[in-house]
Amino acid sequence: MARKIVNRKELRAQADAAEARGKTKAGAKEKATKEKVPKEKKAKAPKKVGEKKAVRKKKVAKEARMKAFWGVFNQGMKRLALFEYADKKAADKKVAELIASSRVHHFVQLIKEPITE
């Protein structure tokens, strides 16, 4: 598609004419800024003697302690067994048994659970 050729001289003449009439954005902004009156600030009430400012303390979320385990999972992310962190060999052995018996892929994954006291 062919573009329409822009005549810069005509566009400039239109812009000059609009500026002369005061309808350009810059001219309107200048007029608006001259007419604006600064807003008055509200006066704060004086503090009474002995009055203290209220201070709010933020509650800090207590961090839950976590314990690590090894979990044996199937393909559907269903946990089949749970082993202590030190017993990774036992978890790997369980995975090997499950793969040999069912021919379905199983895997070991680290799990962190909160400690309940």
CA distance 65 to 60: 15
Q: What is the pLDDT of residues 52-62, one digit of tens each?
A: 667 788 888 88
How big is the CA angle at 35 (ends 32 and 37), to the nearest 5 degrees? Answer: 120
Q: Which pTM value belongs to this model? A: 0.46
- Inform me whether the pLDDT recorded for 35 exceeds 70: no
Q: What is the pLDDT of residues 88-100, one digit of tens each?
A: 999 999 999 999 9
Confidence of residue 66 (pLDDT cuts 50, 70, 90): very high
Mean pLDDT along residues 21-45: 64
CB distance 80 to 50 below 8 Å: no
DSSP 106: -
Helix, strand, coil tally for the chain in percent (to 5): 35, 20, 45
